[in-house]
Amino acid sequence: MVSNDILLMFDEDERKPLDSDRERTFHRGWNDAVEDGPYSDGTFNTLTWQNLGNRFGCLFGDVPEEMRDELMFWAERQRRLD
């Protein structure tokens, strides 16, 4: 099991501006977390939309699609601020 500390840390942010393909990969990562749990530890060194979805899925579990979208759009706003 990956600790919450690992889920929240990363060395490099490789996310590009959110678009429909990246939205799908975010949701794929979230679904992976709900179905199979977290990705391997090494995956979390770099932040991508897919592993961000996996991180959130591990933290919040199986929540309504609206909440997943809200967190995804929140993450996009935070990305733009950096």
Local confidence band at 1 (pLDDT 50, 70, 90 cut-offs): low
Counting Cα atoms < 13 Å in the Cβ hemisphere of 15 gives 29
Show the tokens assigned to 53. 């979805």
Local confidence band at 72 (pLDDT 50, 70, 90 cut-offs): very high
Q: For 4-24, give one letter per residue: b (16+ CB within 10 A) or e.
A: eebbeebeeeebeebeeebbe
pLDDT per position as a tens digit, 7-39: 778 899 999 999 999 999 999 999 999 999 999
pLDDT of residue 46: 93
pLDDT of residue 44: 84
pTM (predicted TM-score): 0.90
pLDDT per position as a tens digit, 38-62: 998 788 899 999 999 999 999 999 9
* Residue 67 Cα to chain centre, angstroms: 13
pLDDT of residue 4: 67
